[in-house]
Amino acid sequence: MASISASTGTPAAQARPILWWGTLGAGFLALQLYILTAWILSDDFKPVAPGPDALSPIGTITMWGVAITFVGAAIGGLAWIGWTLVRERALSTTQILMVGCWTCLWQDATINLLRPVALYNTHYPNMGSWAEHIPFWFSPHGVLNAQPLTFQSSLYLVMIPTWVLTAYGVMKLARRLWPRLVAPQLFLIAMAFITVAQTGAEVAMVRGEIFAYGGAIHALSVFPGTRWQFPVYGAFLWSIGTVALGALLFWRDQAGRTAVEQGIERLDLGRGASNGLRCLAMAGAANLAILAYYLPFMFISLYSDPWPTDFPSYFTNGICGAGTGYACPDPALPIPSHLVPPAPL
């Protein structure tokens, strides 16, 4: 058992950082399991058809590329974590980051919580969406904005941690080049890099027809008013959370522990319990960081300009427009709700 003096309190009191973060992470994990279970057991768990429009050759190549690379990355990532656990070793910081980011999967649909914004390509294998099982869901036809299963297979498990590690690497490089830089300066450099890189990556994915953005403020977007538009403020918001998690990796103690793991050394835990608590602590931090992207994005999107009119059927999916009973978002129109019955258009 951990030894303590009368002046330092109990081991649990000294371990409060990781216990608080672990409790927060357990709450987010429970929420994700509730949402996904409710979705799987509901009538919403069924494929959404792409409609009559055929996928372009570029879209087809991208779809197969995603199936191979993303599913392969997911299998590789899970195998790496599983092999470490089988060998009864402590998970690395990167591995607990992967698990923590995976618990953010439920958040993916929240960008459309108040109104439709981002649209997934339903030519991808899908089983609808868990959107309307998220508490306080407001937007109509959320289930029709289907989650692409091959894309989601490693988006949160591998790809988001890759962005975090990139931010971490940028801060390390900046500190090496300019040793006198202080934390805010390192943050800004990493955020600028991630914003530019994320803009390029998202534009490429939009062009590859993985997804599209219906709701965007044209003055703050590239290719505004077209089906290829991308709101650059989304990349900036994305940089906030990824750089915050990158900072966790950058500023670690002498034992290599992040801020959310502080205090675990004062608990008498076995290897398995230690791995689990560290993953939950990182889950708490990761969910807060990713919410820093989704929450402001959904509110900013209330002021987005009218949708482009040239989206193919596999993006609109009957979410809004003619025949759906709900007009597509327009600043001149009221914000529709799933609580309001559809009306003829």
Could you give phi then psi for residue 101, rounded to 5 degrees?
-65, -35
pLDDT at 341: 77
Q: The dihedral of CA 30, 31, 35, 38: what is its sign?
A: positive
Q: Is the pLDDT at 8 greater than 80, yes or no?
A: no
Query: How open is the CA angle 76-24-267, to the nearest 5 degrees?
Result: 85
Rounded Cα gap, residues 126 and 314, in angstroms? 12
* Residue corresponding to tokens 């807060």: 288
Proportion of the chain above pLDDT 90, given as a percent: 82
Question: For the purposes of burial, counting CB atoms within 10 Å of the CB of 69, is it exposed (0-12), middle (13-18) or buried (19 or more)?
Answer: middle
Cβ–Cβ under 8 Å, residues 320 and 329 = yes
Question: In terms of Cα–Cα distance, which of 17, 12, 11 is closest to 285?
Answer: 17
DSSP string, 180-243: T--HHHHHHHHHHHHHHHHHHHHHHHHHTTSEEESSB-GGGEESTTSTT-EEHHHHHHHHHHHH
Q: Is the pLDDT at 74 greater than 60, yes or no?
A: yes
pLDDT tens digits along 234-280: 999 999 999 999 999 999 998 899 999 998 988 888 999 999 999 99
pLDDT at 14: 60
Q: Which position has the higher pLDDT, 230 or 12?
A: 230
pLDDT tens digits along 15-41: 688 999 999 999 999 999 999 999 999
pLDDT at 333: 84
DSSP label of 159: I
Rounded Cα gap, residues 157 and 95, in angstroms? 9
Residue 86: which residues within 8 A CB-CB, separation 6 or more?
A: none
In the chain, how long is the greatest CA-to-CA distance? 73
Residue 212: which residues within 8 A CB-CB, separation 6 or more?
A: 118, 119, 121, 206, 227, 228, 311, 315
Q: What is the pTM of this model?
A: 0.92
Cβ–Cβ under 8 Å, residues 275 and 99 = no
pLDDT at 2: 37
Our CA dihedral for 209, 214, 220, 226, rounded to 10 degrees, sits at 60
Could you give phi then psi for residue 171, rounded to 5 degrees?
-65, -40
Cβ–Cβ under 8 Å, residues 325 and 141 = no
pLDDT at 259: 94
Side-chain half-sphere exposure of 47, counting CA atoms within 13 A? 11
Beta strands 221-222 and 211-213: pairing type?
A: unpaired
